């Protein structure tokens, strides 16, 4: 179990259907399917999807363009996608979640907390290093570097920091309702059945 996903994995029990948005190489999806969940992983990178466990249904798509004809018990948006610099794009990700979670289902969203710090960790064979390069008000520039043996894949990005009020407002706009906080960087939401028009 990867420490980053511990709050989610300790909160869910199979059997359940899971939609892992932005699943990448399957760090969470592969673990979930081994635990008995029915998992669909979505990523826009075909090369990343090739690393998914064969029991994970792989769908190549951008999150904001995803249109499946079914809903899931659990939808996960990890990798801090909700913090991307473009608020409209981040909102489109939350709308995609609302469009794909079952009434009564659960939504898990990972976000940057307000206490940014450089970190490094080993994820399987891959060394992952996160660095904060510059902070400007509620935005920051960062870099994540993945290293395997003598190969390195740095990814620079700009992200927005969202306080609880901004996160709750974004969830509400998408037709979701804040349920609880699992940790400083994971929250749980659910469909807002009273106010949503897309459920």
Closest CA to 77 of 12, 29, 23: 23
Interval 159-183: pLDDT, tens: 999 989 999 999 999 999 999 999 9
Beta-carbon count within 10 A of 60 CB: 12
How far is residue 136's CA from residue 126's CA, in Å, rounded to a whole number? Answer: 30
Q: 123-132 — which CB contacts under 8 Å span 24+ positions?
A: 123/2, 123/4, 123/27
Interval 106-160: pLDDT, tens: 999 999 877 778 888 776 677 888 999 999 999 999 998 888 888 888 889 999 9
Interval 13-33: pLDDT, tens: 999 999 999 998 898 999 999
Q: What is the pLDDT of residue 146?
A: 82
Average pLDDT, the chain: 91
């Amino acid at each position: 179990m990867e420490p980053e996903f511990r709050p989610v994995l300790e909160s869910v029990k199979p059997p359940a259907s899971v939609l892992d948005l932005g699943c990448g190489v399957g760090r969470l999806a592969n673990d979930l399917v081994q635990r008995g969940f029915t998992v669909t992983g979505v990523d826009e990178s075909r090369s990343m999807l090739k690393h998914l466990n064969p029991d994970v249904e792989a769908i190549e798509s951008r999150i904001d363009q995803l249109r499946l004809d079914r809903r899931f018990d659990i939808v996960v948006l990890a990798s801090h996608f909700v913090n991307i610099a473009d608020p409209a794009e981040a909102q489109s990700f939350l709308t995609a979640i609302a469009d794909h979670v079952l009434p009564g289902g659960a939504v898990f969203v990972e976000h940057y907390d307000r206490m940014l710090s450089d970190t490094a960790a080993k994820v399987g064979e891959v060394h992952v290093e996160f660095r904060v390069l510059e902070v400007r008000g509620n935005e920051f520039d960062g870099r994540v570097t993945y290293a395997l043996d003598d190969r390195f894949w740095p990814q620079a990005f700009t992200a927005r920091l969202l306080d609880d009020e901004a996160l709750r407002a974004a969830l509400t706009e998408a037709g979701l309702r804040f349920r609880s906080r699992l940790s400083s960087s994971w929250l749980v939401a659910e469909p807002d059945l009273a106010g949503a028009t897309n459920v």
